[in-house]
Amino acid sequence: MLRKIFGYGTLAIISVLIQLILITYAVSAGGKIPAVGFFYHLVTLSCIFYILNSSMPDSYKLCWIIPMLCLPLYGGVYFLLFSKKHSVNAIHYKMRPYLTSSMKEIMSLPCENGIQHYLAEHAGFPLTVSEKSRYFHTGEELFEEMLKKISEAEEYIFIEFFIISEGAAWTRMENLLSQKASEGVKVRIIADGAGCLFVKPKNFKKRLISMGIEYREFNPVSLRVTGRVNYRNHRKTLVCDGKYAFCCGINIADEYMNYKKRFGKWKDTGIMVSDGGAQSFTAMFCGMWNYLSGKKEIPFIDFREYERNPADSLVQPFSETPLDNEAVGLRTYLSLINEARTSVYLTTPYLICDDEMLGALEYAAKRGVRVCIITPGVPDKKYVYTLTRSHYKSLIPAGVEIYEYTPGFVHAKTLVIDEKTAVAGTINFDYRSMFMLFECACVFYGGNVADEITADFLQTVRVCRRINYEEVSKTGVLVRIARGFLRLFAPLM
């Protein structure tokens, strides 16, 4: 009731003020704590006991317990208001039926291994085929192909991005979408409220409506602060007529296509799938659109059976949601890394992993698997870069090869196992992507995409600087202290 009346932000501020008043009183009274102090300490201890016995990851437990011990009243109230359980329950039952209903109808091929079975049977994402699969090693190449497929669309165009920003890239896409809408093609766009908050074009929604384009904003930012503000839609997809679908690292902003320079040369990637793979991404978009629109609509899903031809890629698109306790992305990556026999090639802008993931990477290297990781040479966020580098000291001695991309910033998110199985999409190797964001990706079992991602990785390594242990071990005292402090709160980044 209090949350509904005052809002999360107001109650958090009130709790801090009460905390300060109690501390001031205790100091002025010679250290004596008023009776109310025992009450809020009791609340805090109860919260800590609950956290220790909860199913949340151990790293998250530490993030909650530390502020509770430092500021008991504030920490306890903050947990009660903003913890995942409470903030997610408010939208869980409203959103989940929309996100999962369409996926079950897509034709699924028989599973051949454990990860396929997990994604199909427990995560709800069918194993299917794609006759025309492509990998794009730059954002420029990817964006041009996206525009081409938009121009060829005849029935509908579905666009879902975390960021849509004013600039040359959006102007090109907007002009093309306006033309297609005037031709009778149904155009629908979803953007994230926080991702577009300060960068989206002026009068964005009005402009789209005037062109005949439908628009929905996911989780708009408001003055009333709630726990929902943490949960963003980080997916980046484009679907054209249900025949072709793109999943990528780029947003619709100029730096992603190197139209403008930001953090040096921007390295990004993406994939395109067809047939059943495209239908899976269509279902993902429709689920989100239906939730935002408040109605179920599935006429865009093709329920026909897809036959597997020898030349087709075997693909399994999947999405990640914070609405449940099923960390699909994390479990998919862990399973693949643990099954690696010869090589693990990982490209990520952020390497902020929990102990389980770091342990999997280190163990793979120790058992003779070549584990190579490419991270940015020029960071977009210095504190995240500092945290990423803090893991080098344990990874490198285990035999993991770390490479930093010297031309600039790497925003690509790819993983290749044994040069045969590949994953590409929007999921970063950090806590937010694994536990707090709506994400999506696609697993390729063999085929040309795995070969192309492998070739691009090995080519990119040539323009990277390998980090050695001597460099990592010479880190100054202040930097080590900063890294240790940041690692305590890594799950919140």
Residue 103: the pLDDT is 67
Residue 446, helix vs strand vs coil: coil
The answer on 430 and 373 residing in a single domain is yes
Could you tell me if 375 and 450 lie in one domain?
Answer: yes
Tell whether 269 and 412 lie within a shared domain. no
Each residue's pLDDT tens digit, 320-354: 988 777 889 999 999 999 999 999 999 999 998 88
- Phi, psi angle pair for 277, to nearest 5°: -60, -40
Residue 268 lies in a domain: yes
Q: How confident is the model at residue 252 (pLDDT cuts 50, 70, 90)?
A: very high
Token pair belonging to 209: 């409506």
**Hey, how many other C-beta atoms are within 10 angstroms of the C-beta on 346?**
22
Query: Which has the higher per-residue pLDDT, 85 or 456?
Result: 456
Q: How sure is the predictor about 389, in pLDDT bands with cuts at 50, 70 and 90?
A: confident
Choosing from 288, 313, 338, the residue where a domain stops is: 313
Which tens digits make up the pLDDT trace of 166-210?
999 999 999 999 999 999 999 999 999 999 988 988 899 999 999
Kindly state whether residues 65 and 160 are assigned to the same domain: no
176 and 268 share one domain: yes
Do 287 and 195 belong together in one domain?
A: yes
For residues 454 and 99, the model is more confident at: 454
Among 287, 313, 339, residue at a domain's last position: 313
At 485, the pLDDT band (50, 70, 90 cuts) reads low
What pLDDT shows up at residue 1? 42
Pair 167, 136 in one domain: yes
Does residue 322 fall inside a structural domain? Answer: no
**For residue 372, is it within any domain?**
yes
With respect to residue 202, please indicate whether it lies within any of the assigned structural domains.
yes
Element (H, E) at 402: strand 401-405
Domain CATH number, residue 213? 3.30.870.10
Q: Which of 332 and 7 is assigned the larger pLDDT?
A: 332
CB atoms within 10 A of CB 27: 10
Check the CA dihedral 246-247-251-255 and report its sign. negative
Element (H, E) at 213: none
Least confident of 71-85, 187-201, 285-299, 310-324: 71-85
Report the mean per-residue pLDDT for the chain.
Answer: 84
Q: What's the pLDDT at 215?
A: 97
Residue that wins the pLDDT comparison between 373 and 99: 373
pLDDT band per the 50, 70, 90 thresholds, residue 464: very high
Closest CA to 282 of 258, 304, 298, 305: 298
Helix axes 8-28, 35-52, angle to 10 degrees: 130
Q: Quick one: 375 and 469 in the same domain?
A: yes
- Into how many domains does the chain fold? 3
Same domain, 134 and 58: no
Print the domain residue range for 187. Answer: 93-112+125-313
Per the domain annotation, does 321 fall within a domain?
A: no
Residue 392 domain-assigned (yes or no): yes
Residue 39 gets the label, from left (phi > 0), alpha (psi -120 to 50) or beta, of alpha
Beta strands 237-240 and 244-248, pairing class: antiparallel
Given this model, what pLDDT does residue 201 score? 87
- Say how far apart CA 370 and CA 72 lie, in whole Å: 46
Query: What integer is the mean pLDDT of 309-319?
Result: 84
Residue 195 and residue 254 share a domain: yes
Between β-strands 421-425 and 437-445, what pairing exists: parallel, antiparallel or unpaired?
Answer: antiparallel
- The confidence score (pLDDT) of residue 202 equals 87
| CA-based nearest residue to 419, from 366, 343, 334 | 343
Phi-psi region of 203 (alpha: psi -120 to 50; beta: other; left: phi over 0): left
| Whether residue 319 has pLDDT greater than 70 | yes
pLDDT higher than threshold 90 for residue 78:
no
Q: Are residues 63 and 105 in the same domain?
A: no
SS3 call for 354: coil
Q: Region 92-105: what's the mean pLDDT?
A: 64
Q: In 308-403, which residue ranges form alpha helices assigned H by DSSP? A: 328-339, 355-366, 382-389, 392-395
pLDDT for the residue 100: 60
The string of pLDDT tens digits covering residues 131-141 is 899 999 999 99
Residue 367 DSSP label: T
- Pairing type for strands 134-136 and 128-130 reads unpaired
Is 119 part of a structural domain of the chain? no
Domain membership of residue 117 (yes or no) is no
- pLDDT for 8 beyond 70: no
Q: What is the pLDDT of residue 298?
A: 66
Structure tokens at 301: 């899903």
Say whether both 358 and 467 belong to one domain. Answer: yes
